[in-house]
Amino acid sequence: MCSLLTGCLLSYLFAAELFRFIQLPSWSKYAQIGSHSTIMERAEINQHSTVENVGELGEDSICNMATKSKVIQSDIVDRPREKFHSPQTGNERKKKQHKCEECNKQFSRLVDLTIHTRTHTGEKPYRCEECGKQFGQPGVLTRHMMTHTGEKPYKCEECGKQFSQLGNLKTHMKTHTGERPYHCEECGSQFSSSDTLKRHMLTHTDERPYQCETCKRRFSQQGHLRTHMRIHTGEKPYRCEECGKRFSTLGDLKKHIRTHTGQKPYRCEECNKHFSRLDSLKTHMQTHTGEKRYGCEECGKQFSLLMTLKAHTGEKPYRCEECRKQFGQLCNLKKHMRTHTGEKLYRCEECGKKFRQLAHLKEHMKTHTGEKPYRCEECGRQFSVSCNLKRHMRTHTGK
C-alpha cells in the first residue's frame, strides 16, 4: 500500500508541476483535467504541506489523478513550453507574486518557485530506482529513465539516428546543418551546444571540480571522471563485435576497430602516409620537422623518434611474461603476445580466414586479387606471398 501511494503521489506531483503548460482551449482532449483543477491548485502550497494533505484526497482520488497525469506526461514532456501558452493580455497575465530570496527572480506560481529554489539548495527529491541518481524535477527523471529502458522516441529525419531526449536530437541536428552558435570568447572555438561550450571553458580556467574518491585525482568534466573510475572498477562496457575484446572507453574501442578494418583516417600532409591513430601521426610528423630531441648518451647521435633511439641503443624494455622475449616497442610485444593467446584480430572479408597480424592479412588478400609481386630471380616464377617464394627458392638451392 505504501509503495502504491508513493508511486501515485509522484505522478500527482508531476501532473501538478506540468499543469501550468495546459492553457489552450483547443486542447479539448485534456478537458477531463478541468474537473481536477481544485486538486491541481493544492500543489501551489509547499511540498511539506502537500504531503500532509494527501490524506484528504483519499487513495482513489490520488490514483485517478495519477492515471490522468500519465496522459499529460507522455504527451507534453520535452515540448517547448512556449508552444502551450496562449496569447494573454496584460490584465489576463498572472501577477508574479512569488520571489526567490536568493536571486530575486519572480514567478506567478508557487510550484514554479519551488522547482526553481532547488537550483540553489541542490535538493533532488526524485530518485531513479535503477541507478540511484537523483533529480530536482520529475520530468527530468522521466527522461532519464529512457536511458535504462532503451526507449528512443526522437528520430533524426536526415540519418535515422534515434535519441531518448529531444534536446539531444536538437543538438545532433546541428551536425547536419553545421550550425555552431556557441562561441568561446577566449580562443574563438565554436560549439553546437551550450553544454559543450561550458565544458570547453574549463580548459581555460583550469578548474577541476570533479574528484576521484579513490585516488583524489581531479577532472574538469564529469564524463572524464566516470571514464577514469573504470580504472579502479575494471569496468569495460564497450565490446568489439568482431573479436569480443572489451574496452573501458568508446575511443579505445574505435581505435581497436581499425585493426580489423585497416582504416587509417589520419593523413600526413607532407608525404600522404596514412595512420590509424592520431598519436602515431604526431610521432611521424617529427621526421619531417628535422627536430631531433632524443640523443644517445654513448655516442651523442641525435634521433627524431624515441623508438629509433631505443633501436640504436638496443634497449628492449618490453618483456613477454610467457617466454621472456624482449622488445624495443610495446606494439611489437602486443603482436608477439598473440602467438601465445592464439588471438587473431584480422579477418578476411572474402573467405573469413583470420590472422594474427595485419601484414599477414594483406599478404593473404593477394590470393584473392591475383596479385603476385614476389618473383623468383632464377626462373621468373611469381608468387602472391613472400613465404611461398622462400619455399620455392629451396628448389633451386637444394636447402
83-87, 100-104, 232-236: the lowest-pLDDT one: 83-87
Domains held by the chain: number: 2
| Predicted confidence (pLDDT) per residue in 143-167, tens digit | 888 878 878 888 888 888 888 888 8
Tell me which DSSP letter residue 82 carries: G
The CATH number of whichever domain residue 383 belongs to comes to 3.30.160.60
Residues 6+ apart with CB under 8 A from 230: 236, 237, 248, 249
H-state helical runs in 20-153: 37-41, 47-57, 59-76, 110-121, 138-149
* Beta-ladder partners of 106: 99
In this prediction, residue 94 carries a pLDDT of 58
Distance CA 231, CA 253 (A): 15
Q: Is residue 159 part of a domain?
A: yes
Element (H, E) at 117: helix 110-121
Task: Give residue 181's domain range.
Answer: 154-235
In this prediction, residue 390 carries a pLDDT of 86
Q: Is residue 297 part of a domain?
A: no
Provide the Cα torsion 265, 194, 185, 228; round to 10°: -60
| Predicted confidence (pLDDT) per residue in 272-307, tens digit | 888 888 878 887 887 888 778 888 888 888 887 777
Distance CA 211, CA 222 (A): 9
| Burial classification of residue 16, based on how many CB atoms lie within 10 Å of its CB (0-12 exposed, 13-18 middle, 19 or more buried) | buried
Q: Is residue 67 part of a domain?
A: no
Q: Is residue 218 part of a domain?
A: yes
Nearest-CA neighbor of 182 among 173, 172, 193, 174? 193
Q: One-letter amino acid identity for 387?
A: C
Q: Is residue 391 part of a domain?
A: yes
Last residue of a domain, one of 235, 253, 271: 235
- pLDDT band, very low/low/confident/very high, at 100 (cuts 50, 70, 90): very high
Q: Which of 25-29, 97-101, 196-200 has the highest mean pLDDT?
A: 97-101
What percent of the chain has pLDDT above 90?
Answer: 1
Average pLDDT, the chain: 74
Last residue of a domain, one of 235, 262, 284: 235
Distance of CA 119 to the CA centre of its chain: 25
- Name residue, grid cell 613477454: 320
